[in-house]
């Protein structure tokens, strides 16, 4: 293959990447339509728009120069597209998971606010994420002593800063997956950093690697994540702190996901009279019962007569 043909082939590959960028971005806009809370939707759309602006100079360069694009510019365009497509690939996995598990009204918003979800799936969700090439292992305090696997992390850039996934074993010995969206990832998101932030992070990482023998590099995000935990603890652990708000659904009060994406929210009975009627103790977790339909006297009589006939 001649140099000219090689250059043309490279430009065509970049154009296919640009088309994929547009499609993946449009899919996120479609996902945003299902978000009910206006403030969450506004912030979510702004984070998608960040990537439109982030890649705009390179995409414009590709459109205007085409096959005349220099090798240096080809490398520049390719690098930006790789970053964006890597983010969008993880976003596609995360949005697919959220849509599958958020069927009832308001549950998608709860997930966006960091709500804790538990899946009765024998660890199926965890295995799906484990197969992703972009996942990372992560340590968390959730279900300490009841998990046999390390927790996993998927990052969706500014759109979804971090999806945290893990498993635990319940009292009956069944393995369950869980997930929640974090407000701040422990690790850095390099392409979103401004110059000053990048400079501080370089120094922090260098010093922490030396002090911990390269075992625990820290960054500004490490302190931000610690700040999120302090907020969580100061609220007596009643609210999860998420990227788009806070949710009452912590790991002590999760949204339970049944088969085929059906969900049931655990509720806490705080009314003493209701607790007595249901035969439960104050503060106990229970699942809501379905309301029974009672027949009127005439309708009941008709039903009995039909049964005899």
**Does residue 88 have a pLDDT over 70?**
yes
pLDDT in tens, 131-178: 999 999 988 888 988 888 899 999 999 999 999 999 999 999 999 999
Top-confidence residue, 42 or 278? 42
| C-alpha span between 167 and 292 (Å, rounded) | 36
Percent of the chain with pLDDT over 70: 83
CB 205 within 8 A of CB 221: no
Average confidence score pLDDT of the chain: 84
pLDDT of 220: 93
pLDDT of 267: 39
**Does residue 221 have a pLDDT over 80?**
yes
The total number of residues shown for the chain amounts to: 309
Lowest mean pLDDT: which of 7-16, 155-164, 252-261, 299-308? 299-308
Q: What tokens were used for 211?
A: 């002090």
Quick check: helix, strand or coil at residue 131?
A: coil
Q: What tokens were used for 176?
A: 């369950």
User: Residue 141: CA atoms inside 13 Å, Cβ hemisphere, count?
Assistant: 7
| Sequential DSSP letters for 6-55 | HHHHHHHHHHHHHHHHHHHHHHHHHHHTT---HHHHHHHHHHHHHHHHHH
Q: pTM of the predicted model, to two decimals? A: 0.79
Mean pLDDT to the nearest integer, 38-45 = 97
pLDDT in tens, 168-204: 999 999 999 999 999 999 888 899 999 999 999 999 9
pLDDT of 260: 56
User: Residue 179: CA atoms inside 13 Å, Cβ hemisphere, count?
Assistant: 30
Provide the pLDDT confidence category of residue 232 given band limits of 50, 70 and 90: confident
**Does residue 94 have a pLDDT over 70?**
yes
User: Residue 195: CA atoms inside 13 Å, Cβ hemisphere, count?
Assistant: 0
**Does residue 283 have a pLDDT over 70?**
no
pLDDT of 259: 62
- Residue 188 main-chain phi, psi, to 5 deg: -75, 155
Provide the pLDDT confidence category of residue 263 given band limits of 50, 70 and 90: low
Provide the pLDDT confidence category of residue 20 given band limits of 50, 70 and 90: very high
**Does residue 282 have a pLDDT over 90?**
no
Identify the burial level of 154 via C-beta atoms within 10 angstroms of its C-beta, where 0-12 means exposed, 13-18 middle and 19 or more buried: buried
**Does residue 52 have a pLDDT over 70?**
yes
């Amino acid at each position: 293959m001649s140099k000219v043909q090689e250059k043309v082939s490279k430009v065509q590959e970049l154009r296919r990447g640009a088309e994929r960028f547009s499609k993946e971005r449009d899919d996120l806009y479609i996902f945003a339509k299902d978000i009910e809370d206006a403030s969450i939707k506004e912030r979510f759309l702004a984070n998608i728009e960040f990537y439109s602006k982030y890649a705009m100079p390179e995409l414009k360069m590709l459109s205007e120069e085409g096959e005349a694009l220099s090798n240096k510019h080809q490398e520049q365009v390719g690098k930006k597209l790789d970053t964006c497509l890597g983010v969008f690939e993880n976003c596609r996995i995360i949005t697919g998971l959220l849509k599958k598990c958020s069927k009832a009204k308001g549950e998608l918003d709860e997930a966006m606010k960091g709500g804790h979800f538990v899946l009765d799936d024998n660890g199926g969700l965890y295995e799906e994420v484990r197969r992703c090439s972009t996942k990372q292992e992560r340590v968390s305090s959730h279900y300490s002593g009841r998990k046999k696997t390390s927790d996993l992390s998927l990052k969706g850039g500014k759109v979804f800063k971090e999806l945290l996934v893990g498993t635990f074993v319940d009292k009956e010995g069944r393995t369950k997956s869980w997930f929640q969206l974090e407000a701040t990832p422990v690790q850095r998101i390099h392409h979103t950093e401004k110059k000053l932030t990048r400079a501080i992070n370089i120094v922090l990482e260098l010093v922490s690697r030396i002090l911990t023998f390269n075992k625990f590099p820290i960054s500004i995000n490490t302190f931000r994540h610690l700040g999120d935990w302090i907020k969580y603890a100061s609220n007596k652990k009643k609210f999860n702190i998420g990227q788009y708000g806070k949710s009452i659904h912590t790991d002590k009060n999760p949204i339970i996901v049944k088969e085929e994406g059906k969900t049931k929210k655990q509720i806490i009975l705080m009314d003493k009279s209701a607790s007595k009627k249901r035969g439960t103790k104050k503060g106990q977790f229970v699942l809501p019962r379905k309301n029974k339909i009672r027949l009127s006297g005439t309708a009941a009589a008709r039903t009995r007569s039909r049964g005899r006939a």
